[in-house]
Amino acid sequence: MSYAYDAIVVGGGVNGGAIAYNLSKRGKKVLLLEKDVVVSKSSSAAAGMLGAQAELEEDGPLFQLARKSRAMFGSLEREIRTLCGIDIELINKGMYKVAQTIQEEMTFKNIIDMQNRVGEEAEWLSGNEVRVKESSLSDAVIGAMYIPKDGHVSAPQLAMGFIKSAAALGAVIKEYVDVYSLKIINGKIQGVQTNEGDFYSDSVIVAGGAWSKKLLDQAEVHLDMYPVKGECFSVTTHRPLLTSTIFSHGCYLVPKKGGRLIVGATVKPYTFNQAVTIDGISSLMEKAKNLVPSIINAQWEKAWAGIRPQTGDGFPYLGEHPEVKGLFIATGHFRNGILLAPITGEMIADLVERKICDENQQYFSINRSIKMPI
């Protein structure tokens, strides 16, 4: 039996792109299918923080995965630029996880201790010490956990960079192709049925973000996953308001190239509705003004929203379907889809190639929580 493609990736976002890219690098003939246009959903909406230490407050498999993925961006930047000319806009100027209460200060100091113990740099700075570095910050900031290695990238450029690099290496990219169903025979994946016909492969990877659930439900794989809307807005100034990312409870501010600043993000679970609400913008503005009062004079650029896939235990699903050979799943990254894309791409490529995979992969396996059909 011959297959048209070595692998079919379903989903044209950052993780689908990362997987297609890694498989293409390894010489596989890859087909990437996207139901809309590539990089049009949460991968284009993300602020691109690489908050391995800021987002993940406990040691464990996810923290390890995040550290490992974060370390991959340097070489990735060069590869993508060489292959397709895209600059992923990697910035390594650190992050301040700011405290506004004594309670937060205590918590963050504990996190610093933990992280130092496992070999990650992090230190506590007083409010004044932080303001020496970031003079726009208000007195509401009583101190901060400074994380030198948590940088950021342009999320849409990274996602597009993966996909265009995969294309440069031979991957076929098809947009507006909606996968109707997975072709499964005798416990093996055979390919996919789509609005533009059937495509065949003995390896199919579902990496459709929050939209993965629909397709997997049809295949009787019921992941414990739900969509969470996040709203953001951006402003510009001629001179940057900040040099490093400011991360706080309920609001982060990420300084992009050319004086652009992204403020995010709300957390609204159980909806796929991408509309930006007045409530969302208004609450983000209040938080941002509290941290950086001079933002009131910045120039409004635009607002947008993305739908991120959250899971019941907060871990992404990265693995092969326990009962359908050749069906791989990579979704549920929630707020860490950008950060985890490099390791996701590599890990899934290892699984597809039946290579020895990252030892932590077991913690992200599908059957850790799979709900089989009743």
Cis bond before residue 207 (omega within 30° of 0) = no
213 scored as a contact of a second copy (CB under 8 A): yes
Of the candidate residues 101, 113, 129, 214, the single one contacting a second copy (CB under 8 A)? 214
Burial class (CB in 10 A: 0-12, 13-18, 19+), 372: exposed
Distance CA 181, CA 198 (A): 10
Which range binds a second copy by CB under 8 A, 55-63, 96-104, 274-282, 313-321? 274-282
Token look-up 């390594």 returns 92
Instruction: Work out the number of other CB atoms within 10 angstroms of the CB of residue 57.
Output: 15
CB of 264 to a second copy, least distance (A): 14
Q: Out of 1, 238, 359, 373, point to the residue binding a second copy (CB under 8 A).
A: 238
The yes or no reply on residue 374 touching a second copy (CB under 8 A) is no
Instruction: Name residues contacting a second copy, limited to 11-70 (CB under 8 A).
Output: none
For residues 66, 67, 73, 76, the Cα torsion angle rounded to the nearest 10 degrees is -80
State which residue, 68 or 260, has the beta carbon closest to a second copy: 260
Q: CB count, 10 Å around CB of 128?
A: 11
Q: How many CB atoms lie under 10 A from the CB of residue 51?
A: 24
Question: Is residue 367 within the footprint of a second copy (CB under 8 A)?
Answer: no
> Cα 357 vs. chain centroid, distance in angstroms?
20
What is the smallest separation between the CB atom of 237 and a second copy, expressed in angstroms? 9
In the bound state with a second copy, the residue whose beta carbon lies nearer, of 17 and 127, is 17
Binding mask 177-196 for a second copy (x = CB under 8 A): xx-x--------------xx
Between β-strands 268-269 and 204-206, what pairing exists: parallel, antiparallel or unpaired?
unpaired
Q: Does 132 bind a second copy (CB under 8 A)?
A: no
Q: For the chain, first and last CA: distance in Å? A: 33
User: Do residues 31 and 291 make contact, with C-beta atoms less than 8 angstroms apart?
Assistant: no
In this chain, which of 60, 217, 249, 312 binds a second copy, going by CB under 8 A? Answer: 217
Q: Is 313 in the site for a second copy (CB under 8 A)?
A: no
Q: Are 304 and 231 in contact (CB under 8 A)?
A: yes
State in angstroms the smallest separation of the CB of 39 from a second copy: 10
Q: Which is nearer to a second copy, 6 or 202 (CB)?
A: 6
What's the CA gap between 134 and 224, in Å, rounded? 41
Applying the rule CB under 8 A, the residues between 242 and 271 that interact with a second copy are: 256-259, 270-271
List residues near a second copy by CB under 8 A.
84-87, 89, 91, 160-161, 163-164, 167-168, 173, 175-178, 180, 195-196, 213-214, 217-218, 227, 235, 238-240, 256-259, 270-282, 285-286, 288-289, 295-300, 302-303
